[in-house]
Amino acid sequence: MKATADFNRDNRGIFERFYHDDRAVEGLPVRLFIALVIGIAVLSVMTGILSGIPTIDRTEVTVEANDGEAAVVENVGKTVQSLELGVVTQNGEPVQGTKLVIEGKNVALEGGPQVVPTGPRSSSATVEITDDESGADADITTDLRADQDRAKLKVTVEPPSDSDYVDNQVNPDITVIG
């Protein structure tokens, strides 16, 4: 009990002085205002620095037949047919070093989806398509059902990994007629 009484007696003057001190209240708004002004100034400098950093724009790519016509391949049941596909941006600029992934939409492909590269210095690839009835060797071999005379192949583009190209939109299908 003595230690508590000594603490109260020794510190009574400190608490009374703190209670009656009005200076802290007078200086507090000024200090807050100064901190606010400095914070806003630092924030404006930081946003100025960040606005100088270039943004990453992603460019959409698509596939088109190089002859300008629709991607239609006929008579695949008899022989091997070639189709040249080009990879371009929405503005029509060629994109080199991509891969075309071709898979059946409503037809089975022997070996599953096929990957056809365009090459490091080329924006186009020639795809050979045939049906399993022809017995010929090709990049893409469809397996049309007996009652099926046409099919669709879905094409997606794998852009180079070190580029800002993306393929998020649906590309035109390849129509295969037996």
Number of structural domains (the chain) is 2
Do residues 16 and 100 both lie within one domain?
A: no
Closest CA to 160 of 110, 119, 103, 108: 119
Do residues 76 and 47 both lie within one domain?
A: no
Residue 169 belongs to a domain with what CATH number? Answer: 2.60.40.10
pLDDT in tens, the chain (178 residues): 555 555 555 566 766 776 776 665 566 677 788 899 999 999 999 888 887 776 677 888 888 876 655 677 766 666 777 888 888 888 888 888 888 888 888 888 888 888 888 877 878 888 888 777 766 677 777 777 778 788 888 888 888 888 888 888 888 888 888 7
Angle, vertex CA 108, rays to CA 103 and CA 109, nearest 5? 60
Which pLDDT belongs to residue 38?
A: 95
Residues shown for the chain: 178
Angle, vertex CA 63, rays to CA 62 and CA 69, nearest 5? 130
Do residues 125 and 169 both lie within one domain?
A: yes
Do residues 92 and 160 both lie within one domain?
A: yes
Question: 40 and 58 in contact (C-beta within 8 Å)?
Answer: no
Do residues 79 and 148 both lie within one domain?
A: yes
Which of 30, 51, 72 is at the close of a domain?
51
Residue-number span of the structural domain to which 21 is assigned = 2-51
Do residues 150 and 116 both lie within one domain?
A: yes
Which pLDDT belongs to residue 167?
A: 85
Do residues 72 and 26 both lie within one domain?
A: no
Do residues 69 and 127 both lie within one domain?
A: yes
Which pLDDT belongs to residue 142?
A: 79
